[in-house]
Amino acid sequence: MKSYVSIREAVPQLTNAFKWFDSFIREMYFTSERCLSEIKTPAGGTTIGGAGHALNLRMVVAAAGNPSIFGIEFLCLSVEAFSLQRLVELSFDCTLERDSVRLDFCSAASDGGSCWVIAKEVQVVFLGKEYLGPLLRLGHEAPREDATNAAKIDECWRQCGNCSNAWIEKSEIEFARCPECGMLTRLVENLTRCGVVPLDSPGSIGSQGNP
């Protein structure tokens, strides 16, 4: 998993190391784990109810002005409020409160709307060359430490560690939901596939003396 740092540590770099005016928002996903599902009532019937977690925002800014960083991912956890009135000619400002963070992507001087997010916590990761090019998207699933492992089978196939279902997913997408069981999975490069020993592991059949 990529190493996220708290926004509190990243503010000096975010403030000084980028040309925000030439940067732009490339991906933005609001996701909630909340869902509606059937719940059994004490009387033996069913009703529809909701359960789940707070709204999270995963946003990637294509970053300009730094020779080694091409994207900045902001993971805003438990979003309390936001405004998306202006998404170009960005600037950056951050207000740290004791139990919330306000990110501003437009300076007070800019006219015509604003773009800001208030969240309980914000984590940041800087993306290097892997974030160059027109095709790449990090995807909408917010990273979670407790995600189930998915084993990499080849460049496009992966296998769910929960139900053993295999499916096609772009290899750049680290977090994806298994289309069979719905679990959030994290792609793990060197994981033994369910019940299968990798051929290149020490001592496995065929690793030595194979013609």
Contacting residues toward Zn ion, per CB under 5 A = 160, 162-163, 165, 178, 180-181
CA 64 vs CA 3, 24, 163: distances in Å:
21, 8, 42
Q: Which two tokens stand for residue 95?
A: 């207000």
Q: Choose between 62 and 163: whose C-beta lies nearer to Zn ion.
A: 163
Phi-psi map region of 12: left, alpha, beta (phi>0 left; psi -120 to 50 alpha): alpha
Q: Which residue has the tokens 């084993």?
A: 151
* Distance in Å, CB of 185 to Zn ion, minimum: 7
Q: Choose between 11 and 183: whose C-beta lies nearer to Zn ion.
A: 183
Q: Choose between 168 and 199: whose C-beta lies nearer to Zn ion.
A: 168
* Distance in Å, CB of 87 to Zn ion, minimum: 35
Q: Choose between 71 and 139: whose C-beta lies nearer to Zn ion.
A: 139
Q: Choose between 65 and 182: whose C-beta lies nearer to Zn ion.
A: 182
Distance CA(30)–CA(2), nearest Å, equals 20
* Burial category of 115 from C-beta neighbours within 10 Å (exposed 0-12, middle 13-18, buried 19 and up): buried
| Contact predicate 78/120, CB 8 Å | yes
| Contact predicate 70/60, CB 8 Å | no
